[in-house]
Amino acid sequence: DAGVTQSPTHLIKTRGQQVTLRCSPKSGHDTVSWYQQALGQGPQFIFQYYEEEERQRGNFPDRFSGHQFPNYSSELNVNALLLGDSALYLCASSLLSGQETQYFGPGTRLLVL
Amino acid sequence: GQNIDQPTEMTATEGAIVQINCTYQTSGFNGLFWYQQHAGEAPTFLSYNVLDGLEEKGRFSSFLSRSKGYSYLLLKELQMKDSASYLCAVRPNQAGTALIFGKGTTLSVSS
């Protein structure tokens, strides 16, 4: 049973560019949440997708957008990259109806130069 | 606002017991979670409390007091591999919704 997978593992971009990160949830899960974790900080919630729609959103600008596909996988897009967007981007999957926790993928480390 | 506080750093020696505290103030409460995160890796789930009291799972235990907005993670018989960041997270809304994380406590275990 595969856990949460993310790609790519590492990425280097320059300011102003756009980036797309990908996530496949744990088998049986229907909800995907994205978090940004800056160095030395806890993860910060970006948004959550369920049934291909954005269900909940944290305090992030519109430059951050996402998508969920019919197979429950998800993408995170960031436009007009800033130096401050450099972070570990974590995807977490869960069952919307369950009380259980979210399970995290290995993350994508993004460096913006 | 939403606020979760935990100590930044703690140190302990192998074989000892350490308690990591977490206090929270959130708009709602529907569960508190503890995660372990080794450097450069994803957080891994350790424990979950939604009712007051102690939950024990091997060398790890977690306690919750909802009236005090307080939790702790207790690690017994510390091992070097327990050196990691420990994240306290609260789910303020209904099941399936986002978690709010503290900044994490970096635990260093020495021999």
User: Which pLDDT score is estimated for B40?
Assistant: 85
Asked if the Cβ–Cβ distance from B41 to A106 is below 8 Å, we say yes
CB of A51 within 8 A of CB of A107? no
Task: Give the Cα-Cα-Cα angle B31, B36, B42 (nearest 5 degrees).
Answer: 105
CB of A20 within 8 A of CB of A67? no
User: Which pLDDT score is estimated for A16?
Assistant: 97
Asked if the Cβ–Cβ distance from B98 to A90 is below 8 Å, we say no
Of all residues in chain A, the one with the smallest CA distance to B88 is A42
Retrieve residue A26's tokens: 């744990």
Q: Residues A80-95: what's their mean pLDDT?
A: 95
d(CA A85, CA A82): 5
Which residues of chain B make contact with A107, given a CB cutoff of 8 A?
Answer: 41-42
pLDDT of residue B107 exceeding 80, the answer is: yes
**B95: nearest CB among A58, A99, A107:** A99
The phi, psi pair for A105, rounded to 5°, reads: -85, 175
Q: Residues B8-18: what's their mean pLDDT?
A: 97
DSSP for A40-79, written as a single string? TS--EEEEEEETTEEEEE-S--TTEEEEE-TTS-EEEEE-
User: Which pLDDT score is estimated for A92?
Assistant: 95
- A96-101, Cβ contacts within 8 angstroms, sequence gap of 24 or more: A96/A30, A96/A31, A96/A50, A96/B95, A96/B96, A97/B95, A97/B96, A98/B95, A98/B96, A99/B31, A99/B50, A99/B95, A100/B48, A101/B33, A101/B45, A101/B48
**A58: nearest CB among B40, B87, B98:** B98
CB of A66 within 8 A of CB of A60? no
Is A36 at the interface with chain B, CB within 8 A? no
Asked if the Cβ–Cβ distance from B104 to A42 is below 8 Å, we say yes
User: Which pLDDT score is estimated for B94?
Assistant: 73
Which residues of chain A make contact with B31, given a CB cutoff of 8 A?
Answer: 99
**What confidence tier does A98 reach under pLDDT thresholds 50, 70, 90?**
low
Q: Could you tell me how far CA B8 lies from the centroid of its own chain?
A: 12
